[in-house]
Each structure stands twice: as structure tokens, then as C-alpha cells.
Structure 1
Amino acid sequence: MSTISLTAKYRPQRFADVAGQDAVKRILSRAAAEDRIAPAYLFSGTRGVGKTTLARVLAKALNCETAPTGEPCNVCSQCRQITAGVSPDVIEIDAATHGKVDDARRLKEDVGYAPLNSRYKVFIIDEAHMLTTAAFNALLKTLEEPPGRVTFILATTEPHKFPATIISRCQHYLFKRLAQSELEAHLSSVLMREAVPYEAKAVSLIARRGAGSVRDSMSLLAQVLALGGAELTEADARGVLGLAGQEVFFGLIEAIRAEDGPAVVELLRQVLDKGLDIGFFLRELASMWRNLFLLRQAGERALPVVDLPAEEAGEWLVWAGRIEAAHIHACWQMTLEGQRRVQTSLEPALALELLLLNMAYLPRLLPLQNLASCAAPAASGPGGSGGSSGRSGGQGGGLTPRQPQGGRPGGYRPQPLADQVAPYGQPETGPGRDQGGYGRPAAGLDAAPPTAQSAAPRSYPPQAAPPVSRSEAPTPHAASGPGNGSTPPAQAPAAAPAAGGYAPSGSGQSASFAASGQGHGSSGHDDVPRPPQAAPAGPRTWDGFLRQAGRGSDMVALKHAQGTFSPDPAPGELVVSCTNAFHRGRLAHPDKLRQLTEAAEAYFGPGVTVRLTEGEAANDRMSPHDLRDYVDNHPEVRQAVTAFDAEIIERKPR
């Protein structure tokens, strides 16, 4: 082989010799043949795709002695001078070292001079994005209206750094990465001219490693040929470039399928000892999962899409049938998402090992058959079986939250209140819990299905049974409710309207508010009858009423109100005050006011009067200490923390 680098030795000298970029080549060749040259061109694209090469070929086509022509002759003095880089009328400038405003001013002075012995004066500015802002501004007028027979060609890998005023004055051509087949054809032609025997797999491997760049591929080819072998083989290419072979990926698939962690670690250690290129290995691993997924889903119809050699396609098709499609898809996604993390890690080898072990133990870490059930809990029927799945125990399609664990450092986890509802997925105890709640079935598997009238929707979190008035309180021997086998007492009719207050219309509605959060006129079906519950012992307060009546209620405004209960004169009066006009208006709506009255009667006793007033706005905000105590001790916050094993990170006032 020659001592000259392959990139310089086989740099194309004609439009037809340039690999790829067919559209750009046709446009430039036709412009040179018709002598219709733009004042400025902008060539952008990744490294090694032919920007500078086409700029030089265009300069030769413009100044060739046979011009105007679509292809340079490469034999006249003008073409030879440009090829050697000694033409006085074709000036190449490296903007990385000559990108200041003073350089741009000198360039403007040179533009004013006519070509010495050529048809066109061509300025090729490489890495043009390195020009300073002042330099760009100095070239604005020159690029827009240069003197006759002068053209600029700006080449860059970062066109987004160009001012819009510069791009608008140029014909912008985007150079694409070369396809795998185009790179293989170019490398094969170079090897044939060098008279070096080669294996097709070796050329394909180098082309894939080049990632669409001709320069990178040529440099890798020269690196492998430097080994000095009589033939270019796949083994030599993998040994020099540090690439994993097909047998490595087959062994990795087998270890992952068998959930054999030690085998994965040993295989990775052997590959790393050979100098594995981790970045390219991850690219190949992602491509492998992609091919396996397509072959697993489409079979032989996917063979043209995966673009595998004929002798390998059948073997990959067999391997695709040995792993579940969900496992392949998850591994593919994990590889794509973990590429950047692995390559930017302080310990790339350990990060790659963790990624592969996660793939191997994925069915244990997250059962694949449960991936489809990772959804919000479905609404359960009256039996509490968790929806229509038919499974008892409150597992109707939802996942049971984790049980509370020990406190984590830096976080606060309040303990559950004594009177709060058990978290989703746990058995409930207490009065009224035997009616079928989350976490336990209401009846045996052979129980009769509920009727349409009794199928009332349930909401999450589960709701406690509603309280009843003092006149409906059961005797002590029957306080346990239906769970002890006794017949639940009949529901008492609503009390008569009290003077000076609003009384609900209809009968039998006082217990339905706390259960369903709806009034008599807001539902299209009868409410589910609930067993009565004893009124709370001791003094009745607003906080107790809010916990009892607001649980599961659809009156959100009730949580933003303050209240005071006055038992005298009997039967008492509940004064609800709202500082917010919007919330006060919501509570004053007839339906909401009726619901609020029913809940007040159920808690404070029949005949209680409800009166809405405008509250006084607070003079200042809650102090940080009070805010912390309020949030940490709030029943709903505690319930959420317990049910989802969460922790409170930050508390902010609204």
C-alpha cells in the first residue's frame, strides 16, 4: 500500500466519483454546465460526507479550460493547480484560525480584485460556523452582492450557529449521511484498486462502524489494513477495532433468556478484555434487539427489513422465537435509553454491566405479564370485588400499593389516623365494613349478581358507612351491624322541615349523601341502602362533621369552608362561612345546599338548620410551622402517604 493516507489518495476529483449526495451533485453539475452560479453556497452536514470535496470539484468545473462544463477534465493547468491547492484564484480559508473580523476585512479587500488567470474567483471557507459575529456582519454585503465572477462556498457541520441573515443570502444544501450500501460499495472499490483481497463481512462491519461518514470509514479501513495481513478478514477487523462478534450476541441472548446473571458478567468481562468499543457495542445491541423484535412479530416477512445476510437470517429467526416479544421490546427500549447514561458514566463498564443484568432479571424485577395491568384501580361493584374482572380480594385490575416501610432519610411519613379508611388492597374493619369494600369480597363466589338498581358506583378512596341521627342509633347489642348476623334496622324517614332553615324534599335521603355524594335529584337511579351507624359520642364539632360528611363527597367547596355548630336552641344550627365567593356560590346551589343539609342532619341530628355566611378574610398567611403541622396532620395527606408509601418533600401555600 502507498504511504499516502487512503482519504487523500482516493479523494474524488469529479462529480461522478463522489459517493452519495446524488441530488446535490446533479444540481451543482448542471449549474456549472449552464454557467448559472449563485453568489454564495452553504454546504452543511456531518463530518466526512463530501462538503469540501464537492466544493473543490465545483471550483474546478467553473475554472476548467473546457468550461462551462458539467465535469472538470482534470488534465488542464487550471484543474491541476486546483487539485494541488496552488491556484491563486481558489482560496481555501480555515475559519477556525481565520475567523476574526480583521480576517473578514482582508477577505473583502481580496474580493475586489479580479481573477488572475481563471474564470471565477472561488472562496472556500471551511468550518464557517467558527466565524465571529463581527466577521459575519462584515461579510453580509459581500455575500449578497459580490463582484462579478466571484462566488463563496461555506462548509459547516453546525448550520444552526449561522445568523439567519447569512443563510438567507446563500443557497443551502444539506449533505446526508451515506447509506450502508453506498459505504460498502465505496470501500470495496478502494480495496479493489489497492489489490487487497477482502471478506464481505469485514467491509460491512467497517461500514457500520463508520456510521455514514466516508472519512471515518476510510480511516478505519486504513487502521485494519495496517495490520499487514494478506487478506482483510472479519476477525482482523474485530480484533483491531474492538468489536463484538455474532457469537457474543448469541451468547448474550442465551444468558438473558436463561436469567443467568453470572454468565452475563463473564461474557461481558471477556469482551471488555479484548478492548470492546462500548459505544459501538451499544449501537449493535440496540440493532440486535430491533431485528429480534421485528423477526419475532413478523417472521420471514421481516427479513428484507432487518437487512441481514442470507446465511445469518435463518439463525436470527430461530433465536427470535426463543424470547417473549414483551421481553425483547423492553430490552430494546432499555438499550436505547441507557446509551447516553452508560457512555457518560464515570464507570462505563459497571454501568453497562448493570444494564445487561437488568435485562437478564427483568422478568423477576417487573413481571412482564403484569405490565398491562399497571393502570389506575377500576371502579368496584357493590360486592367490592374490584370491578368486572371476577377476582376477589379487591384486585380488580389495579396494583396493590406497597405497605409502609421505615422512614427514609430526608423525608417525613406521618402515621395513619385511627379513624381513617384502610388503604386500597387491605381489609377494612369497623361498623359498616361488611358491605363489601376494597380488599375483601362481599359474599362468596357463588353469590347472586347485584341488580341494576343496586349497582351504585364506588369511588377511591373507599367511603365509610354514613352516620345516622340520634333517633336512629342502634342499641348496644346491635351496634356491630350486619356482620354479626342480625337484620339491619330499617331506614328512618327524613325529619320534618325546621323553622327558619331549609329542609330536604323527599324522604329516605339523609343517609345517601355520605355514601354517594349526590342529592335526590342528581342521580338517575335509587341510592344503595346503607345500614345505619351510631352517631358519634361526645360533642359534635365542625372538624368531625367535615371528616364524616366530606369523605367521598363531590362538594369540593366544603373543604374550603369554616363552620360552627350551635346546639341551642334545639335542634341546633350549623353556620358555614366561605371567604371565597366562588366556593360560597357553589355551596349555595340548591342541589349542593340540599346535600349539605342532609349531611348535617345525619351528623348533628334531625331538623338542624344550615345557614351560609360570608366569612372574614384572613389578615395574613399561615406561618411555615403552622403550615407544616397542617399539612402533615391532614387526614387525606396521611391516607395518601400510607397508601402509596410516599414521603412529603416540600410544603407550599397556595
Structure 2
Amino acid sequence: MKHLSLAARYRPQTFAEVAGQDTVKAVLSRAAAEDKVAAAYLLSGTRGVGKTTIARIFAKALNCEHAPGPEPCNQCPQCRKITQGSHVDVAEIDGASNNSVDDARALRETIGYAPMEGRYKVFIIDEAHMLSRNAFNALLKTLEEPPSRVVFIFATTEVHKFPITIVSRCQHFVFRHLSEDALHAHLCDVLDREGLTYEEAAVRLIARRAAGSVRDSMSLLDQALALGGDGLTAGVTREVLGLAGQELFVSLFEALAGRDCAGVAELSRRIAAQGVDIGFFVRELAGHLRTLFLLRQAGTAMLPHLGLTRDEAACWQGLAPRFSATHLHAAWQMTLDAQRGIVQNPEPAAALELLLLNLALLPQLLPLEHLPGAAALPVTDNGASPPPVQPAGMIPAQQTAGVPPAQAARREGGSPLRQTGTGAPRAGRTDAAAPADDEDAESDDPAPAGDLPAPPEALTARPAVVARPAAETASAATGTTVRRQEEAPSAEAATAVPAAGEGGTARPETPPDWAAFCEYCRTEQAEGRPSPPPYLLRQMRAEWTPGCLRLYPSAGQILAQAEKHRADILAALARYGAGTPALELVPPRPPRSEADLIEEFRQRPEMQDCLSLLNATIKHCTEA
């Protein structure tokens, strides 16, 4: 007797037997029960999740002698013929080998005839995305106005290749991956029906390896059982499928914790020599890093959510404290990012070894501000700090490894750095609520204005000339210090208090608070008095110097608007009590090419050691 694979032997014959896909089963079962059937259905999803199986069950439910009903009986001649593939009214067509326009025309000619044996003529087109565009176009009119008692069911793994004109004429159902728990339950049911003994760890391993595909899980189970024996064990399963055991992962994490590069290299050699499935190894590595990170952060409270056996839980709980949370988080992210590249690399074993060595050396990476020469950054022509350059394309280790939380916020795509506390005004505004007694606080940059974020400290250029003791003026109202690059003013200029403006407010001894001035203008406008638009002021950064106010618009349009409202700004400053300073509008820096940004960032001294240590290159750069 011919041997049938487990996938063929236990192929579901009713909706209830199908694992997962509850929504699709409910909709199609109700359509069959109420005899409210659409002309065409499109079933899409990854391989082995039940698309063709459900299409066959639906065809049986429509043509069953006891129809309409929610399930086929599988006992009547109609159901048996469909199961055997010999029913005259149910045609299962391979889209890959019947994809021409001539095949579509022949199909159209067949559609015109009424069903011969059953209630419906059902056409199941598998791998339908392989049909040519002309074949699809030949079916358009038929799908829109099909004869009565004709149903099309398209099954595909690549729905993006379908013309939208076809998709719009179908009821589209997306089949999802099955969860590991659902696959585990399905495999256990099959093994129980086969009367075989098994270890939970072995079944869990096959369910994880199948990656959501029922057919893959059944094929892997068949492969694991092919070795024979009394039952299914985890050791035999790993050996047959070429999977790494837990003891190898324990040895690997011990080497990573000890930064033992020689041990990591030896483990890499063993993985290659044993023929381990490298793609699945990296997936398991990412899963174990997730487990360690969650245990490191939440401790035993996380155990019920991880699905570990008692021995596995004890093992990972012992390893988790040997790593910092930062190390585990960065290693987890690096592993996830490297999965596709390692599998597709011409030398996957070498790519895996490089990844493991990088994971071991993660704690040795330093934040940028700790590298030598971090303060020697370039300065623009007008003395202002240039826009920060955000690097990307380096190995992910730099993003989080050994970096404090504030520094980690500057990762690619992250928001600008925001700092609070003594001597560090909050980026994006001047903190008017800071303590008044913080006289000795200082800021390396002029206080930013409006709602614009201040450039990140570690990546922003500093003024080249600073006269610290004589040129700093503390503001008791804001708790901030403004450092000026010009010579210290004379004693008369430092102590003189100008007369009050029209608003009756005396000019303060220190440069005005730009955020407070913006709020003043908003109040003036609300009371109907002429004032510059507050939204315009908030989109400019202010830099006060003796007798001069420099404004840095965020864009060219803001610069043009500010020129139009120059007189209004000067009048409002006079009413506010800031006198009549010279107003200088600094044009925004023109955009630079990506190549210029990469070269500028690569030449910065603080990057030289980092790039040399990691043997890395910068592939992408954007201006924040």
C-alpha cells in the first residue's frame, strides 16, 4: 500500500478541522449554509496555511447532497468525488501551467454550461498570480457578470501581482500565519491520533521551526519521525533537522558574557561543522536574547509569558544577570537586523561569526562624547552651530550599546535631545520655570527660542572663541546663562538700565527671554494691538548680543515673512522694554548633498576611532 505523508493523511475535510483561520471559516461556512454565495473569492496568504484546503471544503459544502448547510457531510457521492478530485463540476486548475489567454478563453467557453451533477460549478485556480495579464483581462467580464451557479476561487501567495480590476471583483480573504501555540496543539493532536509518544520540547521545536505554516510543520514532523524509534524526542529532532541544542546556546551566552572572542570563534566553527540551519539558528538566537532581556528587566514576573519549561527557566534566569539590559537590548536589535543579510550572504557562516563577535564586543563601544577629540568640532562662518548630522547605515551596535538614555534618543529617526536640570535649558524653549537661585548655571549654546528643538549636544559644533568669566551674564529670571563670543561690555553698558518703553516695562539688565517675548506678542495680538505674528516668532531661534538681535529662521519662507514683519518686530521689542537693537536675519543654511554630509561626518575626529574599531562605513546620512 502506498505510504501517505502526514500532511495528506490528516488533511482537513471540514471547516471545523482546519487549524486557525477562524474568520475565513466562519464567513464561508455561513455563506454555504444560507446559500448566499459570491461570484468570486480571492484567498491569499503564505504557503501552507490552508488556502486550497478551505477552497475544496467550500466546494464540497456547496455541492453536498444535504446542502445548503454549514459543513459538507463527506459521505454522499458528491462529497466523495470532490475529495477524490473526480467531480465533473469542480475543476482545480494550476495557474502556473494554464496561464495563457487561450486557456482563459477555453475556461470562458466551459463556464456557459449549467452544472451537470452538483448545484454549483466551482473553478479553483491555484497559484493564480501566475496567470498572464491577457488571461486576467479575458476573465474580467466573466467575473463581473458570471452565469448563475458559477463560483471562482483564486488562491495565491503573491496577491500584489493581481490586477486591481480582478481584486475589486472578488471577496478577498487574507490567511494569517498560525501562532506557535496553535501549531503545537495541531501537532500534538496528530501525534495522539497516531498513537506516538513525544516530548513537549520536540513538538514545540517543530512548531517554532515551521514559522506559522501547517504544511511545513507536518513535513518537518514526518522528517523527524523518519528516523524511527519509540517516539519523538528533542535530541533526535534537533539532529535530524540540523538545529542547535540548548547547551550550544548556553555556551555561546557564557562566551558573550565573558567577551571571549576565541570561544565565540570556536562555537562558530562547530555550528558550521555540524551543518546547523543558520537561518533558524539566528531566529532562535533572537528569541533567546528577547527572553534574557525580558528576564533582566522584569525578573520572575515575566516567566508566565515566555512559555519556558522549568529547566529552561532556571537556565535563562541564571544567565540574565550576567548581562546589562543595554547590552541585551542592543544585541537583540542587531540580531533581528542581521537575519535576512546572513541568510542571503554568499558566506553565511562567516556572516554569522562576524555577528557573534560583534555581540561579544558590544560593551567596549563608547558613546561619541567619550571619544578623544569630541570637543574639536567645526564652526560655521557666522559662528553659529551647524545643523547636526545624523549618521545611519553603521552597524546597529552604535545605536544603543553603552549609550546613556539621553544619548540613545539620538538614534536614526529619533527625536532631538531634550535635557532638563541645572545648567541645561530644555531644547525647544527657554525654561522660564527654572529656579531663580541657579546663578551659576551655564549653557554651552545660546538659549534656543520658540518651539524649535536645540541641536544635540554631542553632534553640534561649538564656538571657537569663548570669553567665559567676563562675557557671561546670568539671568535670575530663567536660571540660564548666555555666553557671548564678543569682548566683554564696558561697566557702563553692563549696568545701564534703559528707560521704559510704551508698555511701561523697563529693559532688563540681561538679554530678554525670547519665549517670554513671544508670549507677550501673543497677548498683544489677542488684545487687538499691532504685533508680529506669534507663529512666525516661534519658528525662529534667537541669539542676543550687545546691541544686536540675530534671528535664525527655520526655512526660506520664514525668512521672507520675517523681512516683511521687521518693523513690527522692532516696534514690539521697544514696547516690551528691550530697546531698539539692530535686527539681523540669518538665512537658513542651504541643503547639502548626502555625499557632503557623509564626508563631513566621517572626517570628524571623534568618529575616527569608532570607524576604525568597528571597521565600519557610513552608508547614509541626513541632516536633522
Asked whether the two chains share a fold, i.e. TM above 0.5, the reply is yes
- Distance change >3 Å, CA 550–CA 158, structure 1 → 2: farther
The residue correspondences of 1:600-615 to structure 2 (distance < 5 A) are none
Partner of 2:97: 97
Q: Distance in 1 between matches of 2:110 and 2:357?
A: 63
Contact 1:183–1:207 (Cα < 8 Å) also in 2: yes
Deviations 1:329-353 (A, max 9, x none): 2211121122223223333222222
Contact 1:384–1:436 (Cα < 8 Å) also in 2: no
Q: SS of the residue aligned with 1:116?
A: coil
1:162 aligns with 2:200: no
Partner of 1:539: none
Q: Distance in 1 between matches of 2:265 and 2:547?
A: 53
Contact 2:121–2:150 (Cα < 8 Å) also in 1: yes
Partner of 2:257: 257
- Distance change >3 Å, CA 177–CA 492, structure 1 → 2: closer
- Distance change >3 Å, CA 255–CA 516, structure 1 → 2: farther
Partner of 1:282: 282
Q: Distance in 2 between matches of 1:61 and 1:453?
A: 80
- Distance change >3 Å, CA 382–CA 108, structure 1 → 2: same
Partner of 2:31: 31
The residue correspondences of 1:234-633 to structure 2 (distance < 5 A) are 234-366=234-366, 370-374=403-407, 375=417, 379=424, 421-422=463-464, 432-435=467-470, 452=476, 457-458=481-482, 463-466=484-487, 490-491=491-492, 554-556=550-552, 583=563, 586=566, 590=570
Partner of 2:197: 197
Q: Which runs of 5+ in 2 are unaligned?
A: 368-400, 408-416, 426-437, 445-454, 501-506, 520-543, 586-591, 609-616
Q: Which runs of 5+ in 1 are unaligned?
A: 388-396, 404-419, 423-427, 443-449, 469-488, 496-503, 525-547, 561-578, 601-609, 613-626
Contact 1:49–1:176 (Cα < 8 Å) also in 2: yes
Q: SS of the residue aligned with 1:243?
A: coil
Letter in 2 for 1:554: R
Q: Distance in 1 between matches of 2:298 and 2:494?
A: 67
Letter in 1 for 2:116: L
- Distance change >3 Å, CA 136–CA 87, structure 1 → 2: same
Letter in 2 for 1:465: E
Contact 1:517–1:554 (Cα < 8 Å) also in 2: no
Partner of 1:13: 13
Q: Distance in 2 between matches of 1:454 and 1:154?
A: 68
Contact 2:31–2:37 (Cα < 8 Å) also in 1: yes
- Distance change >3 Å, CA 110–CA 255, structure 1 → 2: same
Contact 1:373–1:398 (Cα < 8 Å) also in 2: no
Q: Distance in 2 between matches of 1:589 and 1:201?
A: 73
Partner of 1:118: 118
Partner of 2:392: none
Partner of 2:524: none
- Distance change >3 Å, CA 587–CA 170, structure 1 → 2: same
* CA drift at 1:207: 1.0
1:43 aligns with 2:39: no
Q: Distance in 2 between matches of 1:80 and 1:493?
A: 101
Contact 1:291–1:306 (Cα < 8 Å) also in 2: yes
- Distance change >3 Å, CA 597–CA 59, structure 1 → 2: closer
Partner of 2:178: 178
* CA drift at 1:324: 1.9
Q: Distance in 2 between matches of 1:648 and 1:70?
A: 60
Deviations 1:335-388 (A, max 9, x none): 11222232233332222222222222211113656422425787488868668x
Contact 1:39–1:143 (Cα < 8 Å) also in 2: yes
Partner of 1:71: 71
* CA drift at 1:274: 1.0
Partner of 1:223: 223
Q: SS of the residue aligned with 1:361?
A: helix
Letter in 2 for 1:34: E
- Once the two structures are overlaid, the 10-residue window that deviates more, 39-48 or 192-201, is 192-201
Q: SS of the residue aligned with 1:129?
A: helix
TM-score by length of 1: 0.65
* CA drift at 1:247: 1.6
Deviations 1:520-557 (A, max 9, x none): x9799xxxxxxxxxxxxxxxxxxxxxxx9899962459
Q: SS of the residue aligned with 1:25?
A: helix
Q: Distance in 1 between matches of 2:88 and 2:601?
A: 82
- Distance change >3 Å, CA 552–CA 60, structure 1 → 2: farther
Q: SS of the residue aligned with 1:99?
A: coil
* CA drift at 1:211: 0.8
- Distance change >3 Å, CA 640–CA 518, structure 1 → 2: farther
Contact 2:471–2:487 (Cα < 8 Å) also in 1: no
Contact 2:279–2:339 (Cα < 8 Å) also in 1: yes
- Once the two structures are overlaid, the 10-residue window that deviates more, 95-104 or 161-170, is 161-170
Q: Distance in 2 between matches of 1:33 and 1:592?
A: 77
Q: Distance in 1 between matches of 2:323 and 2:619?
A: 41
Q: SS of the residue aligned with 1:91?
A: strand
- Distance change >3 Å, CA 286–CA 491, structure 1 → 2: same
Q: Distance in 2 between matches of 1:551 and 1:266?
A: 69
- Distance change >3 Å, CA 596–CA 260, structure 1 → 2: farther
Deviations 1:482-512 (A, max 9, x none): xxxxxxx8447999xxxxxxxx9779xxxx9
Q: SS of the residue aligned with 2:183?
A: helix
- Distance change >3 Å, CA 183–CA 370, structure 1 → 2: closer
Q: SS of the residue aligned with 2:485?
A: coil
* CA drift at 1:108: 0.9
Q: Distance in 1 between matches of 2:600 and 2:278?
A: 47
1:233 aligns with 2:255: no
Contact 1:383–1:436 (Cα < 8 Å) also in 2: no
Deviations 1:85-113 (A, max 9, x none): 12211101111221222221111110001
Contact 1:517–1:552 (Cα < 8 Å) also in 2: no
Letter in 2 for 1:157: T
Q: SS of the residue aligned with 1:221?
A: helix
Q: Distance in 2 between matches of 1:334 and 1:24?
A: 37
Q: SS of the residue aligned with 1:321?
A: helix
Q: SS of the residue aligned with 1:118?
A: coil
Contact 2:256–2:264 (Cα < 8 Å) also in 1: yes
Q: Distance in 1 between matches of 2:402 and 2:114?
A: 76
Letter in 2 for 1:131: L
Partner of 2:132: 132
Q: SS of the residue aligned with 1:315?
A: helix
Contact 2:443–2:481 (Cα < 8 Å) also in 1: no
Q: SS of the residue aligned with 2:93?
A: strand
Count of aligned pairs: 498
- Once the two structures are overlaid, the 10-residue window that deviates more, 153-162 or 27-36, is 27-36
Q: SS of the residue aligned with 2:125?
A: strand
Q: Distance in 2 between matches of 1:358 and 1:58?
A: 52
Deviations 1:96-146 (A, max 9, x none): 221222221111110001122222211001112222333222222222332
- Distance change >3 Å, CA 288–CA 124, structure 1 → 2: same
Q: Distance in 2 between matches of 1:137 and 1:357?
A: 54
Partner of 1:621: none
TM-score by length of 2: 0.68
* Identity across the alignment (%): 50
Contact 1:383–1:435 (Cα < 8 Å) also in 2: no
- Distance change >3 Å, CA 599–CA 54, structure 1 → 2: closer
Q: SS of the residue aligned with 1:458?
A: strand
Contact 1:517–1:553 (Cα < 8 Å) also in 2: no
